Amino acid sequence: MKKKLIFILIGLFILIGGYLMIGEYKKIQLVKEAQKKAEDIVYRNYEGIKKVTINKEYYKITPMGGLSVGGHVNDDKSLTFNIGFQIEKDGLGKATSIFIPNDFPTEKKECENKICQ
């Protein structure tokens, strides 16, 4: 009886561990996708961008289904950005917000007041 209970508990722990590992893998994939999209968005939306550096360690997933990633441009750590994305059922959604400092490079004319994706 005790052996049966031990096997059931071990099996349950393995299933829970596997489920958590799958969830962590999906989260990492979403973050990687968001980081790539963020880089593309910065190049598309702003003039004079020579280099975009994404901070690979920084990301935040909010309880309301958002994901934000950040970095800096042109090797200037004062020119930071933070881009927020909506997480949807089937993956990463569109960018919903961009936060930049006042001295960030100029927005391209075709992308004023909107996010060119």
CATH number of the structural domain spanning residue 16: 3.10.450.130
Q: Is the pLDDT of residue 1 over 80?
A: no
Number of domains in the chain: 1
pLDDT digits (tens, 9 = 90+) for 14-53: 777 666 666 788 888 999 999 999 999 999 999 999 999 9
Report the predicted TM-score, pTM, of the whole model to 2 decimal places. 0.79
Which residues constitute the domain of residue 7? 2-111
Comparing 18 with 86, the larger pLDDT belongs to 86
Task: Flag whether 60 is in a domain.
Answer: yes
Measured CA distances, 103 to 76, 80, 85, 99 (Å): 11, 10, 23, 12
Assign 81 to helix, strand or coil.
strand
Comparing 78 with 58, the larger pLDDT belongs to 78
Task: Flag whether 117 is in a domain.
Answer: no
Task: Flag whether 78 is in a domain.
Answer: yes
Q: What angle do CA 112, 83, 91 make, to 5 degrees?
A: 115
Task: Flag whether 116 is in a domain.
Answer: no
Task: Flag whether 95 is in a domain.
Answer: yes
Residue 21 phi/psi, 5-degree rounding, is: -65, -40
Calpha distance 37→32 (Å, rounded): 9
Give the per-residue pLDDT at 43.
95
Both tokens of 2, joined, read 């005790």
Please report which confidence band the pLDDT of residue 69 belongs to, taking 50, 70 and 90 as the band edges. Answer: very high
Give the per-residue pLDDT at 22.
67
Both tokens of 21, joined, read 């590992």
